A and B are shown apart, each in its own frame.
Chain A
Amino acid sequence: MKNISQSIILLRTLAAALVISAATTACDKDVTDLQPFDRITETAAFGTAARCELSMVGVYDAAQSGFYAGGAVRGYPFGAANVEQGDCRGEDMLNVAAFYAFTYESTYNPTTANNQYHWETLYGLINKANIVIEGSQAAQRAGVLTEAQAKAYEGEARFLRALAHHELLIHFARPYAHTPTASHLGVPYRTTAINTAASKEAAQQQARNTVAECYNLLLADLDFAEANLPATRTGTLKISRATKGAAIALKTRVLLHKGDWAAVITESADLIPNGGYSLTAAPEGPFASFTANSESIFSIENSNVDNPFVNGALPVMYAIAPGRALVAISPIIYNAPFWDSTDLRRTQLAKHNNRAYFSHKYRNVTNQDDWNPIIRYSEVLLNVAEAHLRNNGDMAAALNLLNQVRNRAVTDPARQYNAMTFADADAMLQAVLNERRIEFLAEGRRWADIHRLANDPKFSTGGIPAKVFYNQTTFASWGYKVNYDASGNYTGTLGLPAVPYANFRFVWPLPITELNTNPALEQNPGY
Chain B
Amino acid sequence: MNRILLGLALILMSAGYAFGQNRTVTGMVTSNEGDPLIGATVAVLGTATGTRTDIEGKFRVEIPAGATALRFSYTGYLAQEVPITGAESYNIVLEPSSAYLDEVVVVGYGTQLKRDVTGSISQVKGETLANLASPSFDAQLAGRAAGVQVTPPSGILGSPPQIRIRGVNSISSGTFPLVVVDGVPIFDGNQGTFTPMNALGDLNPSDIESYEILKDGAATAIYGSRAANGVMLITTKRGKKGKPKFNYDMYVGMAQATNLFDLLGAQDFVTINNEKSRNTGDTIPIANLMTDANGNIVETDWLDAIFRTATQHSHVLSVSGGSDFTNYYFSLGFSDQDGISVANSLRRYTFRANIDQKVNKWLKIGFSSGLSRQENYGPLTGSNNLSGNTYAAMRMMPNVPVYDPSDPTGYNLDSINPRTLGRGANRIEIANGLPNQRFVLDNDLRKAVNTRLLGNIYGEVGLLKGLTFRTQLGVDANYVDDYLFQDPRHGDGYSANGRVSQSFGPSERWNWQNMLTYTTSIGEKHNLDLTALQEYQKQRSTFYQGTVSNLSDRFFQENIVSGTYSNQAIDGGIGENGIASYLGRVNYNFARRYYISASIRRDALSSLAEANRVGYFPGASFAWRISEEGFWGESISKVISDLRLRGSYAEVGNVRIGNYPYIGSYGSAPYGLQNGITYNNFGNDGLQWEAQKKLDFGIDFGLFDNRINGSIAYWRQDNDDIILSAPTAPSLGIPGNRIFTNIGSMRGDGIEVTLDALVLRSGNFRWNASLNFSTQNNEVTSLVKNLNGTDQDQIGENNIIRAGEPINAIYGYDYWGVNKANGNPVYIRQDSARTLVQQNIVSGAITTFNPDAPGDAGTASTLSAATDRRVLGTVLPTFFGGFDNNFYLGNFDLNIFLRFSGGNVIMNRTRIDLLDMGFANNGTEILGRWQSPENPGDGMTPKLRLNASNTINRPNEASTRWVENGDFLRLGNVALGYTMPKSLTQRLSIESLRIYVQAQNLLTITGYNGLDPETNTNGFGVDWNGNPQQQVFLVGANLGF
Closest to A521 in B: B731
Known A23-B536, A54-B675; judge A518-B495 contact (CB<8 A). no
A27 at the interface (CB under 8 A from B): yes
Please report which residues of chain B, range 647-703, place their CB below 8 angstroms from some CB of chain A when the two chains form the complex: 659-660, 663-683
Asked if residues A16 and B516 are in contact (CB atoms below 8 Å), the reply is yes
B538 at the interface (CB under 8 A from A): yes
A321 at the interface (CB under 8 A from B): yes
B792 at the interface (CB under 8 A from A): yes
Closest to B467 in A: A13
Asked if residues B427 and A474 are in contact (CB atoms below 8 Å), the reply is yes
Rounded to whole angstroms, the CA-CA distance of A113 and B865 in the bound complex is 13
Rounded to whole angstroms, the CA-CA distance of A30 and B679 in the bound complex is 27
Asked if residues A321 and B674 are in contact (CB atoms below 8 Å), the reply is no
B576 at the interface (CB under 8 A from A): yes
The stretch of B64-72, B230-238, B428-436 that contacts the partner chain: B428-436
Looking at the assembled complex, report how far the CB atom of B694 sits from the nearest CB atom of chain A, in whole angstroms.
Answer: 25
A342 at the interface (CB under 8 A from B): no
Rounded to whole angstroms, the CA-CA distance of A519 and B790 in the bound complex is 11
* Contacting residues, chain A, for B730 (C-beta < 8 A): 116, 119-120, 123-124, 511, 513-514, 517
Looking at the assembled complex, report how far the CB atom of B429 sits from the nearest CB atom of chain A, in whole angstroms.
Answer: 7
Rounded to whole angstroms, the CA-CA distance of A9 and B417 in the bound complex is 83
Looking at the assembled complex, report how far the CB atom of A254 sits from the nearest CB atom of chain B, in whole angstroms.
Answer: 20
A31 at the interface (CB under 8 A from B): yes
Known A31-B537, A113-B956, A477-B284; judge A40-B677 contact (CB<8 A). yes
Asked if residues A36 and B673 are in contact (CB atoms below 8 Å), the reply is no
Asked if residues A495 and B495 are in contact (CB atoms below 8 Å), the reply is no
Asked if residues B512 and A58 are in contact (CB atoms below 8 Å), the reply is no
Known A23-B534, A473-B284, A516-B727; judge A128-B512 contact (CB<8 A). no
Asked if residues A97 and B536 are in contact (CB atoms below 8 Å), the reply is no
Asked if residues B678 and A128 are in contact (CB atoms below 8 Å), the reply is yes
Question: A123's contact among B461, B462, B605, B732, by CB below 8 Å, is which?
Answer: B732
Report B754-789 CB contacts with A as 1/0, cut-off 8 Å: 000000000000000000000000000000001110
B843 at the interface (CB under 8 A from A): yes
Asked if residues A194 and B732 are in contact (CB atoms below 8 Å), the reply is yes
Known A61-B669, A473-B284, A516-B794; judge A31-B787 contact (CB<8 A). no
Asked if residues A515 and B580 are in contact (CB atoms below 8 Å), the reply is no
Asked if residues B512 and A23 are in contact (CB atoms below 8 Å), the reply is yes
A234 at the interface (CB under 8 A from B): no
Asked if residues A120 and B737 are in contact (CB atoms below 8 Å), the reply is yes
A131 at the interface (CB under 8 A from B): yes
Asked if residues A353 and B461 are in contact (CB atoms below 8 Å), the reply is no
* Contacting residues, chain A, for B660 (C-beta < 8 A): 34-36, 39
Looking at the assembled complex, report how far the CB atom of A268 sits from the nearest CB atom of chain B, in whole angstroms.
Answer: 28
Closest to B498 in A: A366
Asked if residues A316 and B663 are in contact (CB atoms below 8 Å), the reply is no
Known A27-B512, A194-B732, A200-B728; judge A57-B605 contact (CB<8 A). no
Asked if residues A354 and B864 are in contact (CB atoms below 8 Å), the reply is no
A481 at the interface (CB under 8 A from B): no
Asked if residues A62 and B678 are in contact (CB atoms below 8 Å), the reply is yes
Most buried by B among A98, A205, A511: A98
B418 at the interface (CB under 8 A from A): yes
Report B733-764 CB contacts with A as 1/0, cut-off 8 Å: 11111010000000000000000000000000
A-B contact number at CB 8 A? 351
Known A240-B674, A367-B567; judge A41-B733 contact (CB<8 A). no
Looking at the assembled complex, report how far the CB atom of B485 sits from the nearest CB atom of chain A, in whole angstroms.
Answer: 16
* Contacting residues, chain A, for B567 (C-beta < 8 A): 304, 366-367
* Contacting residues, chain A, for B534 (C-beta < 8 A): 20, 23-24
A224 at the interface (CB under 8 A from B): no
The stretch of A104-112, A382-390, A392-400 that contacts the partner chain: A104-112
Report A260-296 CB contacts with B as 1/0, cut-off 8 Å: 0000000000000000000000000000000000000
Question: B579's contact among A24, A31, A307, by CB below 8 Å, is which?
Answer: A31
B610 at the interface (CB under 8 A from A): yes
Looking at the assembled complex, report how far the CB atom of B738 sits from the nearest CB atom of chain A, in whole angstroms.
Answer: 10
Report B404-447 CB contacts with A as 1/0, cut-off 8 Å: 00000000000011110000000111011100000000000000
Closest to A16 in B: B469
Report A348-389 CB contacts with B as 1/0, cut-off 8 Å: 000001110000000001111101000000000000000000
Looking at the assembled complex, report how far the CB atom of B534 sits from the nearest CB atom of chain A, in whole angstroms.
Answer: 6
Report B883-903 CB contacts with A as 1/0, cut-off 8 Å: 000000000000000000000
Additional pairs, 19, CB under 8 Å, beyond known A23-B536, A64-B671, A493-B281: A9-B464, A27-B512, A38-B574, A40-B666, A42-B679, A42-B683, A51-B677, A59-B676, A59-B678, A64-B672, A111-B797, A126-B733, A131-B679, A322-B497, A323-B495, A471-B282, A471-B947, A473-B428, A496-B842
Interface residues of A (CB under 8 A from B): 9, 12-13, 15-16, 19-20, 23-24, 27-28, 30-45, 51, 54-64, 67, 97-99, 101-102, 105-107, 109-113, 116, 119-120, 123-128, 130-131, 187-188, 190, 194-195, 200, 203-205, 236-237, 240, 300-307, 310, 316, 321-326, 353-355, 365-369, 371, 469-474, 477, 493, 495-497, 499, 505, 511-521, 523, 526-527
Closest 5 CB pairs of A and B: A127-B733, A57-B676, A58-B678, A31-B578, A301-B672
A–B pairs, 7, beta carbons within 8 Å: A13-B463, A31-B606, A32-B580, A105-B844, A301-B672, A306-B670, A516-B795
Interface residues of B (CB under 8 A from A): 277, 280-282, 284, 286, 362, 416-419, 427-429, 431-433, 461-464, 469, 471, 492, 494-497, 512, 514, 516, 534, 536-538, 549-550, 566-569, 573-580, 604-606, 610, 613, 659-660, 663-683, 727-737, 739, 786-788, 792-795, 797, 842-844, 862, 864-866, 918-919, 946-951, 956-957
